[in-house]
Amino acid sequence: MTSPALRVHNVWKRFGSRDALAGVSLEAPRGSCFAMLGHNGSGKTTLLRILATLSAPTEGEAQVLGHAVGAESGAIRGKIGVVLDRHLLPRDFALRDALRMYADLYGVRDANARIEDLAARLGLARRLRDPVRTFSRGMGQRASICRALLHDPEMLILDEPFTGLDAAALAITDEVIQETVAEGRTVVLVTHDLERAARLATHSVVLSNGKKTFDGDPVEAAAAATAGRGLAG
């Protein structure tokens, strides 16, 4: 039997005296679009950063694509593409060179063709020669999606990927998510766009104050997340 895409068991993350995550357990099958919903400060980004191997849990265990976070973080990094709220691309590089740097890091074959392809898909073909620092917020976001897709990852991890995108870029991002799932890959999606989550996700959880308060159908989760609004703190 193949391992699930995500397996999180009793994960805690403490920042000083604050529990950002207080014993979260969850599982996501491969080929799912797994949405994590919840109010500001509920622990979504904290959990996403742990899954993306950018931060270690204080307690508990997590596996991504069958690899243990921590001991096998290197193997995980090669198989995931991550979009966080900041784009992480070197500001003074032309987009083409910035993407090339990541492509080389990942050992992407036919890197130039892949970069042209992705830039065209994300509507950035004409900006490949421009320094990243000249990009608008939405363009930076699209560049970040290009970077995340470069090495054809088995899992896409997206933290609020829709913020700042115009209608065309939103449609492209929806398409990227749907195609990724249709190919049997997994998308882990954190968003406040509940309508989108209900439409795109196949599985979902709601976090509240570092705890999982809902696990199940995305349409019901969106309703549960709405009901939980105003309880942040």
Ligand X SMILES: Nc1ncnc2c1ncn2[C@@H]1O[C@H](COP(=O)(O)OP(=O)(O)OP(=O)(O)O)[C@@H](O)[C@H]1O
Q: Of 18 and 91, which has the nearer Cβ to ligand X?
A: 18
Query: If contact means CB under 5 to 8 A according to the sort of partner, which of Mg ion, ligand X, none does residue 15 touch?
Result: ligand X
Backbone angles phi, psi at 108, to 5 degrees: -70, 130
Q: Which of 197, 193, 228 is nearest to 211 (CA)?
A: 228
Span of 12-20, 31-39, 44-52, 204-212 interacting with Mg ion by CB under 5 A? 44-52
Do the beta carbons of residue 159 and residue 48 sit within 8 Å? yes
46 binds Mg ion (CB under 5 A): no
Sign of CA pseudo-dihedral 91, 96, 99, 100: negative
Q: Of 103 and 158, which has the nearer Cβ to Mg ion?
A: 158
Please give the residue ranges that form the binding site for ligand X (CB under 6 A).
Answer: 15, 18, 20, 38, 40-46
- In the complex, the smallest distance separating the C-beta of residue 8 from ligand X, rounded to whole angstroms, is 14
Q: Of 100 and 196, which has the nearer Cβ to ligand X?
A: 196
45 binds Mg ion (CB under 5 A): yes
- In the complex, the smallest distance separating the C-beta of residue 121 from ligand X, rounded to whole angstroms, is 27
Q: Of 132 and 189, which has the nearer Cβ to ligand X?
A: 189
- Where does residue 15 rank: exposed (0-12), middle (13-18), buried (19+ CB within 10 A)? exposed
Please give the structure tokens belonging to residue 97.
């060179």
**How many Å apart are CA 197 and CA 187, to the nearest integer?**
12
191 binds Mg ion (CB under 5 A): no
Residue 91 has a CB neighbour count (10 Å cut-off) of 12
- In the complex, the smallest distance separating the C-beta of residue 199 from ligand X, rounded to whole angstroms, is 20
